[in-house]
Amino acid sequence: MGETRPVFAGLSHAEIVVWYGLIVISTAVFAWGAVNLVLKYRAGRREPISDLPRRVVDTLTVVLSHRWIKRRDAVAGAGHALVFYGFLLLLIGTTILGIQTDVAKPIFNATFWYGGFYLGFKLVLDIAGAMLLGGLGLLAYNRWGRRASRLEYRRPDRPAEGDGRSLYRVGDGVFIGALAFLPLTGFLLEGLFLASSPQRFAAWSPVGWVLMKLFRAVGIAGSGAATAHHVVWWIHGVTALGFVSSIPFTKAVHMLAAPSNIAARDRQAGKRLPALPLDAVAEQVGYTSISDLTWEHLLSLDACTKCGKCTAACPAAAAGLPLSPRDLILDLREVAEATLGAHGRLRLPGSGAAPATAVLGDPIRPESVWSCTQCMACVEICPVGIEHVPIINQFRRQLVERGEMDPLLQSTLETIYSSGNSFGEPKRKRGKWSDGLGFAVKDARKEPVDVLWFVGDYASFDPRNQQVSRALAQVLHEASLDFGILYDGERTGGFDVRRAGEEGLFTTLAEGNVKTISSCDFGRILTSDPHSYHALKNEYPAFGGSWTVLHHSELLLELLESGRLVPQRQLERRVTYHDPCTLGRYNGVYDPPRRVLEAIGIELVEMPRNRDNSLCCGAGGGRIWMKEQRPEGSRRVSEQRIDEATSLGALDYFVVACPKDVTMYSDAIKTSGHEGELELKELAELVFEAVVPPSSLELSPAAATAG
């Protein structure tokens, strides 16, 4: 038959029987844990799942490519890839061996575990074991060598508690140690087997061959090596079975939960939010108890690997606010495990409702929930697809239902309800910014237009943003674009109202705006406000409003590239550009603003955190309507962002493309101590400066008020 070796070399019949008994026990424990996990998830709210083939393909692509894990941490990505593929090859090898031993040989009296196949099998498993150990070494270095702060268990949301999760640290060490122990003992087995008798094929097990030489050098050979092999075989085997049975109960549960969560996740999580229950009176609004969570959100709690990438990306945590997305998930996980999981009682189907264990208030504190800017940084970077933002939003809905919110936020929501805008201004003043432009801006409700401009609250009422609106209007007029606005027919878009948890008010605003817009005759919708852009483009279709929606950066690029806008001068400025969260992470619009800057002769210097890694300005999720309360000595994220910009060297402008960014960063330049070093410019203002003839600049209201 050629080169091979017996699977149970040196084991008696009784030992083989014991071994199979241990396999049965290990499998039963694993199955019990897996069933318990399923029952735990079934305790959550039911939500349908569709398009399974696409989900399977997406999951395989994400899992096999490791593209989510390696982002912003190449060491962790490389380490996990080596561990994953090393473990996968070892698992496949063990499965092949099981098929040979328990199926092919006893049932079909056939064997394939010899000759060339056996030799290749040995070599591949040696390589796989080395990959696994190498990957674990990289992960251990990342955690204990580099001491990445995101892997610490300090609670940035509760600094007084310090390291409140030391057991997780122990679990991480045990997990890495157990995984390392398996290939180490496997290599020992190979070396001892080779040392017990001469083998012609020793070179096909390179690690085993090296160990064989070491054993023989110290006198471990022949029967002594065979005895040691017997002992190590049992140690290795029992450890392997113990590891398998522990998967549903330990950190290793992410091996099951993470791919499942990636498959089950909503690819638009946070970008779209669920509507209120049809009967919001009879049904629970938002989350208050652990059993209120959907089954997918319960699954995502177990998928969490505690990597801390979400908290490292969180602007609230960076500003010292009491929010850590990772710890919020772990808080929920601990409650779910204690009440619904293996540490609680095993609930068989039909055994009664899940326990209504309250989580809002303790451990999920309202101040943590309200600290979130809904910027999607946590969701975007999570390597296992956890939906932090929708979970937080559901808690906000319940707090709004109870009336437990910042007084300023509550006042603003009431103002929006009564006046239709967050400034409390009379509706008739919404189009006042267009006075004195030198041309009339059409009323899109009264006459057809090619482009309907949905201006938004800040661009309509805030004095600094009115300058931007006038500049943009001048640019559109210069391009001979047929555009109009809704004047007093426009109401707040509602994006931030919805992210603040006021779903009912959002619905009212959306229905009102859809009705008004649908009565107009137009081709496309334009807005300079990314928040309104997202609502109009992605959320209003659920209310019957489906249109082509453009951000002004997209339209400006179109006009420049088509030749309808021709730069009269190259600005030759050195600037940096800030990606708005709602334009970037929510909608993937990164290139148009940059291409506009290039087209008007501007040199762009990127900040370290750019595109999908952009730092939130701190205004989102209704935070701009809340009182700012931070620990002494901390800096607002907007101030940190200006610090980041000024670290690039001499710049002319800090460029933004969002009205709330205009407000936040104009203030931050002053409060950060960088006034005079840097000037804020909105994208439309720079285009205005580049395309409007020089003779018109001094006469233009936009230019006259720009200072």
Q: Give 2-16 pLDDT, tens digit per residue.
A: 688 888 888 999 999
CA distance linking residue 592 with residue 417, whole number of Å = 34
Alpha carbon distance 79, 82 (integer Å)? 5
Q: In 10 A of CB 519, how many CB atoms?
A: 11
DSSP 604: E
Exposure b/e, 441-450, CB count within 10 A at least 16 = b? bbbbbeeebe
- The percentage of residues in the chain with a pLDDT greater than 90, rounded to a whole number, is 82
* Structural domains of the chain, ranges and CATH numbers in brackets: 51-230 (no CATH), 279-404 (1.10.1060), 410-705 (no CATH)
Per-residue confidence (pLDDT) for residue 427, from 0 to 100? 96
How many alpha carbons lie under 13 Å from residue 386 in its C-beta half-sphere? Answer: 33
pLDDT at 202: 84
How much is the pLDDT for 696? Answer: 64
C-alpha–C-alpha distance, residues 595 and 162, integer Å: 46
* pLDDT tens track for 80-94: 999 999 999 999 999
Spatial distance between the Cα atoms of 663 and 671, rounded to a whole number of angstroms: 13
pLDDT at position 37, please?
94
pLDDT, tens digit, for every residue of 330-343?
A: 999 999 999 987 65
Cβ count near 134 (within 10 Å): 16
How far is it, in rounded angstroms, from Cα 491 to Cα 425?
Answer: 11
**In the prediction, which pLDDT does 699 show?**
43
Query: 698: which 2 tokens?
Result: 């001094």
Low-confidence residues of the chain, pLDDT below 70?
A: 1-2, 162-164, 278-283, 342-355, 695-707
Name the amino acid, one letter, at 37. L
pLDDT in tens, 528-556: 999 999 999 999 999 999 999 999 999 99
How far is residue 282 CA from its own chain's centroid? 33
Task: Give me the count of residues in the chain.
Answer: 707
Name beta bridge partners: 293. none
Give the pLDDT score at 633: 82
The structure tokens listed for 371 are 């600290």
